[in-house]
Amino acid sequence: MCGIFACHKHPNVQGFKPKALQLSKAIRHRGPDWSGNVTSNSTILTHERLSIVGIDSGAQPLTSEDNSLILAVNGEIYNHRLIRKSFGDKYKFKTHSDCEVILYLYAEHDIDAPKMLDGMFSFVLYDSKRDRVVAARDPIGITSFYQGWNSSQPDAVYFASELKCLHPVCDKIISFPPGHIYDSETKKTTRYFQPSWWEPSRVPATPLDLKLIRATLEKSVRKRLMAEVPYGVLLSGGLDSSLIASIAVRETRAGSDLNGHDASNGNNDHLVGIDDEGHLKTVRKYERLRSFSIGLPGSPDGVAAQKVADFLGTEHYNYTFTIQEGLDALRDVIYHLETYDVTTIRASTPMYLLSRKIKALGVKMVLSGEGSDEIFGGYLYFHAAPDKAAFHDETVRRVKNLHLADCLRANKSTSAWGLEARVPFLDKEFLEVAMGFDPQEKMIGNGRIEKWVLRAAFDTSSEPEAEPYLPKDILWRQKEQFSDGVGYGWIDALKDTAAHVVSDEDFAKRGELWDSDAPDTKEAYWYRQMFDEQFPKQCASTVMRWTPTWSKQSDPSGRAISTHVANWLLLLMSSWDGRITCTYLSTLRPLAKQVASSEPLLLLLVAILLSSRLISSSLLDDSPRRRQVSNADGTISSPPDPAPTSSDDDDAGGLSAIPPFGNFTTTTSSQIEPSQSDEPDLTSTVTQVPVPTKVTVTRTITDEFGRESTTTDVVPTTTMISSDDPSLANGGESGSPSGVTPQQKKIIIGVVVSVVGILTIVGIAGVIWRIWFSRRGSEEDPSLHRKDTPPPLSVSSIPSGDGTARTVSGGDRRKKPGFGSMNPSSNF
């Protein structure tokens, strides 16, 4: 990402130039490769460059042949080769930059020029002959862009990539609307982006085409591999980033065959990008794509990302960070993100830390998976959508606001370290397809989980000859918001720290500090305070707080949605085998805390489900216990027991899919417990009794690089054996079909009654607790209302939740937010 700053109609532009260069320097982190500026009449354009395409000649601002048009751009134009070809020999291009085509599109089409662009961009173009400025932003707002005015300079207008350039000279600032263009001659901003899905009242009825979904997303990824520098992919292990990584691996692998592809126009042979046949030309050839992930040690995303990387064969870098490192970076994150939205800051902090690591490896561009949840209704609160019209309306609203949420996070978290993030899901063509079919197909329920359409489009289980895109358990993995997936301890630490940093007294007076958009939690208060210390009040109007629809939760975390909690509890009970393992206990720890604080009534449901599962499993079930697995369509069912000697069925016993590369061999051995004699005593009474057995399936896999790896799965099943014990004729004691003795029954029933009683009492107490605090008018977590709030200190030792202590620095926590220095010190 590059950085731009511009001012048009300044009353003293030459005197303002030194100040303009200083303001431009404030965003040099976005473009550390070169700085440039042009002054003409009463207009100045400055540019901080990150060179990715046309690295040898693309310094900006760009100028036309006669120097009458001056252009400063932040972004990438993926169809620039096609545009150049359409001009023929009419114009003489000065550089290899993909952005230079904007100059001549303006010359040909005036303010309709942005309609012809396929890419992400924000630009300011000055026409010196007409003393006119036009400024535009890409359709979704992938690149950050702001516009400002100074009341003492009524004719002047300012533009910049970030707020920190504008607030020293502007007293009114707005986030430039995506898909719009500004014309200084009319002083009007008009929308040029007019897709068929823009009006939410128009509910589409086009039938779903899964193959078209797959094809357009693959093309979108291919476009975004246009680069002359090293690139990689952000891989969280979730569905979205994993699919992007899978496609990128295929395109990178195929790129070696296309690097030598000749364009029909010989003048374009030296240019990278997509041609009119959909082929990608790049000057880089990579044997293996690089992938990157980050999380707390043992985080869900880290484990899943490594599994995907192993499956795809990427060169994977899995980084970890500590809670203290994340807390130390918060102020810098807010400075770079220029927001106080809770969910954006939570998710941006790990991404900010990861971007620094990536840039240190020499990588300048990464692909990322933003936009999918908004398009397909992937957030868990979409479970509560009442009908398809409401579902579609919400997806349209979310896509329109991406520039204030996930696009802002992806753009600014990475550009803080001179790294560019590209988002294939927000391709114009893909959006037209993905937002243009009947939204009933996106609805959650009737056996379908969130983003079923996207999962089904890339599920190749019905295509025997096709190479799988992802392992099934990744393709059908439930949604984790990035701030949750990096480790549940991260959010808990933020809440706990905010509870100590912000006193009850200060929180109660928040309405006196902010007459509008007042924080509703101490965590939100803490972020708003740090924002106000670095940015003046005119910047706050550019911030939008992300909150879920159709939910009573004020916490935007995905795991605060009851669907997330319920699904994990159902998974626990479906896997219940008479004991709770340490794995389940560690999984339930954060979920139980969330349930107790936000969904006390759910505990009553848990009590009923848990007790019924226990009783049926331990007392009434006369068949062997069987694991439940997710089907390809997102439903849950019990697989058939595998034959002890069979190894041909890929899905037997719920085994994961075979990696797509290389050959594999499979061997199976059976271990039956207890052992039985080969020569039974024929004089005794023989009874056929089902006995639990274990089938050990060992796979030796050879990948595309000739490396071998062995995996072993132990699959439970049953085997009929002979026994001369008459008591086993009915599977156990007389009248006991499950083999449980009367004494064991008493113990189990006692445990069940105790568990049900405890959960019921806790659930009722939670309801009373919630009612009590609702009467006090509080919507915050009750645990934050403490009488023993510590006094304001400059340094505190705060328990971290893992038995250790962490130190949090700050000034007088009770003082009102002020305006601090614009440049923070780096703590990471």
Per-residue exposure over 714-732, b if at least 16 CB sit within 10 Å of its own CB, e if not = ebbbbbebebeeeebebbb
| pLDDT digits 0-9 by tens, 155-183 | 999 999 999 999 999 999 999 999 999 99
Is the pLDDT at 629 greater than 90? The verdict is no
Q: Which two tokens stand for residue 561?
A: 């949605």
Sheet containing strand 34-40, edge to edge, reads 34-40, 43-49, 3-8, 153-160, 146-150, 172-175
Strand (E) positions, 168-289? 172-175, 180-183, 188-191, 231-234, 273-274, 280-281
Tell me the mean pLDDT in the region 354-371.
97
Residues 751 and 726 in one domain: no
Tell me the mean pLDDT in the region 666-679.
39
| pLDDT digits 0-9 by tens, 804-814 | 444 444 333 33
Q: Do 587 and 572 form a contact (C-beta atoms < 8 A)?
A: yes
How many folded domains does the chain comprise?
Answer: 4
Is the pLDDT at 643 greater than 80? The verdict is no
| C-alpha to C-alpha distances, 591 to 347, 488, 565, nearest whole angstrom | 19, 9, 6
Cα–Cα dist 4/2, whole Å? 7
Residues 642 and 604 in one domain: no
The single residue of 2, 7, 165, 170 carrying the catalytic annotation is 2
Q: Which two tokens stand for residue 384?
A: 């509560």
Tell me the mean pLDDT in the region 385-392.
96
Tell me the mean pLDDT in the region 235-253.
93
Residues 280 and 340 in one domain: yes
Q: Which of 714, 737, 760 is the last residue of a domain?
A: 737
Residues 653 and 572 in one domain: no
Residues 116 and 142 in one domain: yes
Q: Do 296 and 321 form a contact (C-beta atoms < 8 A)?
A: yes
Residues 690 and 758 in one domain: no
Band (152; pLDDT cuts 50, 70, 90): very high
Tell me the mean pLDDT in the region 578-591.
41
Residues 585 and 674 in one domain: no
> What pLDDT sits at residue 753?
76
Tell me the mean pLDDT in the region 565-585.
44
Tell me which residue range forms the domain holding 764: 558-621+745-770
Cα–Cα dist 694/598, whole Å? 41
Cα–Cα dist 69/360, whole Å? 37
Is the pLDDT at 564 greater than 80? The verdict is no
For the ranges 231-240, 292-301, 342-351, the lowest mean pLDDT is seen at 292-301
Q: What mean pLDDT value characterizes the chain?
A: 78
Report yes or no on 779 lying in a domain.
Answer: no
- Higher-pLDDT residue of 658 and 216 is 216
Residues 44 and 153 in one domain: yes
Q: Which two tokens stand for residue 333?
A: 């994150």
Band (659; pLDDT cuts 50, 70, 90): very low
> What pLDDT sits at residue 556?
59
Cα–Cα dist 283/373, whole Å? 33
Cβ partners under 8 Å of residue 257, min gap 6: none
Is 2 part of the annotated catalytic residue set? yes
Q: What is the pTM of this model?
A: 0.72
Please choose, from the candidates 596, 606, 600, the residue with its C-alpha nearest in 3D space to the C-alpha of residue 569.
606
Name the H helices within 548-581: 562-574
Report yes or no on 45 lying in a domain.
Answer: yes
Residues 376 and 231 in one domain: yes
| pLDDT digits 0-9 by tens, 40-72 | 999 999 999 999 998 888 899 999 999 999 999
Residue that is written with structure tokens 């000279």 in the block: 169
Report yes or no on 544 lying in a domain.
Answer: no
Residue 257: its H or E element? helix 239-258
Number of Cβ atoms within 10 Å of the Cβ of 316: 21
SS3 content of the chain, % helix, strand, coil (to 5): 40, 20, 40
Task: Name the pairing type of β-strands 69-77 and 132-137.
Answer: unpaired
Q: Do 682 and 722 form a contact (C-beta atoms < 8 A)?
A: no
Please choose, from the candidates 3, 39, 34, the residue with its C-alpha nearest in 3D space to the C-alpha of residue 165.
3
Is the pLDDT at 519 greater than 90? The verdict is yes
Q: Which of 191, 219, 235 is the last residue of a domain?
A: 191
Q: Angle at Cα 340 formed by Cα 337 and Cα 343, nearest 5°?
A: 85
Cα–Cα dist 642/178, whole Å? 55
The burial class, CB within 10 Å (0-12 / 13-18 / 19+), for 178 is: buried
Is the pLDDT at 798 greater than 50? The verdict is no
Please choose, from the candidates 289, 283, 268, the residue with its C-alpha nearest in 3D space to the C-alpha of residue 53.
283
Report yes or no on 828 lying in a domain.
Answer: no
| C-alpha to C-alpha distances, 700 to 502, 667, 668, 713, nearest whole angstrom | 56, 8, 11, 12
> What pLDDT sits at residue 670?
39
| C-alpha to C-alpha distances, 272 to 118, 288, 328, nearest whole angstrom | 15, 20, 41
DSSP tally for the chain: helices H, then strands E:
24, 26
Residues 720 and 750 in one domain: no
Tell me the mean pLDDT in the region 816-821.
36
Residue 601: its H or E element? helix 600-615
Report yes or no on 532 lying in a domain.
Answer: no
Q: Which of 467, 502, 524 is the last residue of a domain?
A: 524
> What pLDDT sits at residue 765?
76
| C-alpha to C-alpha distances, 351 to 236, 304, 348, 358, 578, nearest whole angstrom | 10, 17, 5, 10, 41
Is the pLDDT at 326 greater than 80? The verdict is yes
Q: Which two tokens stand for residue 128?
A: 């010196």
> What pLDDT sits at residue 719?
54
Please, what is the angle between helix 488-501 and helix 342-360, to 10°? Answer: 120
Residue 122: its H or E element? strand 119-127
Residues 285 and 178 in one domain: no
| pLDDT digits 0-9 by tens, 522-552 | 999 999 999 999 999 999 999 999 888 887 6
Band (569; pLDDT cuts 50, 70, 90): low
Residue 619 has what DSSP assignment? I
Is the pLDDT at 696 greater than 90? The verdict is no
Report yes or no on 412 lying in a domain.
Answer: yes
Residue 583 has what DSSP assignment? H
Cα–Cα dist 186/684, whole Å? 103
> What pLDDT sits at residue 820?
36
> What pLDDT sits at residue 6?
98
Band (775; pLDDT cuts 50, 70, 90): low
Report yes or no on 218 lying in a domain.
Answer: yes
Torsion (CA) 525, 530, 534, 539 in degrees, nearest 10: -30
| pLDDT digits 0-9 by tens, 273-324 | 888 777 787 655 566 899 999 999 888 788 889 999 999 999 999 999 999 9
What CATH number does the domain containing 394 carry?
3.40.50.620
Report yes or no on 70 lying in a domain.
Answer: yes
What CATH number does the domain containing 156 carry?
3.60.20.10
> What pLDDT sits at residue 458?
97
> What pLDDT sits at residue 245?
97
> What pLDDT sits at residue 217?
98
Q: Which two tokens stand for residue 236?
A: 């969280």
> What pLDDT sits at residue 751?
77
| pLDDT digits 0-9 by tens, 449-473 | 999 999 999 999 999 899 999 999 8
The DSSP code sequence of 358-369 is: HHHTT--EEE--
Q: Do 235 and 294 form a contact (C-beta atoms < 8 A)?
A: no
> What pLDDT sits at residue 557?
54
Residue that is written with structure tokens 């693309």 in the block: 58
Band (645; pLDDT cuts 50, 70, 90): very low
CA torsion through residues 463, 464, 468, 471, sign: positive
Residue that is written with structure tokens 């400063």 in the block: 72
Name the H helices within 640-694: none
Tell me the mean pLDDT in the region 717-727.
51
Is the pLDDT at 787 greater than 80? The verdict is no
Residues 605 and 669 in one domain: no
Q: Which two tokens stand for residue 768?
A: 């009373």
Task: Name the pairing type of β-strands 69-77 and 119-127.
Answer: antiparallel
| C-alpha to C-alpha distances, 24 to 29, 33, 79, 364, 535, nearest whole angstrom | 10, 14, 29, 21, 17
